[in-house]
Amino acid sequence: MCQSAGCPNQFECWEDREATFLIGGDQCTRRCDFCQIDTGRPSAYDRDEPRRVAESVVKMGLHYATVTGVARDDLPEGASWLYAETCRQIHELVPGCGVELLVDDFQGNSSALQTVFDARPEVFAHNVETVPRIFKRIRPAFRYERSLDVLSRARAAGLVTKSNLILGMGETDDEVSAALRDLHDAGAEIITITQYLRPSERHHPIDRWVTPERFDAFADEARAIGFTGVMSGPLVRSSYRAGRLYRQATEARGNGGAVMKIHGVNPTSGDRG
């Protein structure tokens, strides 16, 4: 996915032996106004995909894999099994590789969420992306409060939790600050803050370009609120330096000696501008 999305950080992530995989097909049952993935009716998902992803992790020599996917509202429990099985397969084939699952909300389905929790990914990520005032316009099939609840449930299950905010879609600085507090109160430990880049003319227009200095200020604010892993900058993406952020969060929990499993990942501070 790093290459197909044209991510500006793919070579830096590769230095840490990290990569992101998209599972569940190339058609999403939802449409978010910032996302370049096509909306449509997905085909039946491939139950052999988890094995192939895990084998790719082996071949690429990865230390940390982020697994994300399209929303599959055509299925009773979404793509929850696919996420969970991919996590299990990676852990089985590469015990030293960390797995981050970046999932949708499964419409709040408790059974689907539990399926993912039971796979015990190193990080459970669910991105809120924007602030309440414009949330319905940007993410019409999601609900802000439900997304917060998903993060709370993951934290209650003992997982390291992560979310993302995209700036430049019409939010104000005060609304970003409030959303950061909402996310931390919901249990999110890691936050990435990014600049919106419009995929095409049919997507939501860019409202503003946030300065690097403002991104730095939001990073400082997030740390002051209590986030233990923070990346904030114009070129940051939600999986940027994901393994390092995981390490920071687990060390802040006080169980650094039990962390990682993951090879070659060292904690780091600072932001990505």
83/28: higher pLDDT: 83
Within 8 A by CB and 6+ apart from 213, the residues are none
- 126 near 238, Cβ under 8 Å? no
pLDDT at 11: 57
Q: In one letter, which amino acid is 193?
A: I
pLDDT at 130: 97
Within 8 A by CB and 6+ apart from 202, the residues are none
The phi and psi torsions of 195 (rounded to 5 degrees) equal: -95, 135
CA distance 231 to 271: 5
Please report, for the chain, the start and end positions of each structural domain, with discontinuous segments joined by +.
Answer: 10-258
159 CB-side CA count, 13 A:
28
Q: Which CATH superfamily is domain 10-258 in?
A: Aldolase class I (3.20.20.70)
pLDDT at 255 exceeding the cut of 70: no
Within 8 A by CB and 6+ apart from 184, the residues are 191, 222, 225, 226, 227
Per residue in 72-123, pLDDT (tens digit) is 989 999 999 999 999 999 999 999 999 999 999 999 999 999 999 999 999 9
Residue with tokens 């409060």: 145
DSSP 130-164: S-HHHHHHH-TT--HHHHHHHHHHHHHTT-EEEEE
CA distance 19 to 240: 9
CA distance 8 to 52: 26
pLDDT at 98: 98
Per residue in 138-186, pLDDT (tens digit) is 998 899 999 999 999 999 999 999 999 999 999 999 999 999 999 999 9
Q: How confident is the model at residue 25 (pLDDT cuts 50, 70, 90)?
A: confident
pLDDT at 227 exceeding the cut of 50: yes
Label each residue of 5-35 as H, E or C.
Answer: CCCCCHHHHHHCCEEEEEECCCEECCCCCCC
User: What three-state secondary structure class fits 170?
Assistant: coil
pTM value?
0.89
The encoded tokens of residue 65 equal: 């894999």
Other C-beta atoms lying within 10 Å of the C-beta of residue 270:
12
Looking at residue 41, what DSSP letter applies? -
Q: How confident is the model at residue 52 (pLDDT cuts 50, 70, 90)?
A: very high
pLDDT at 2: 46
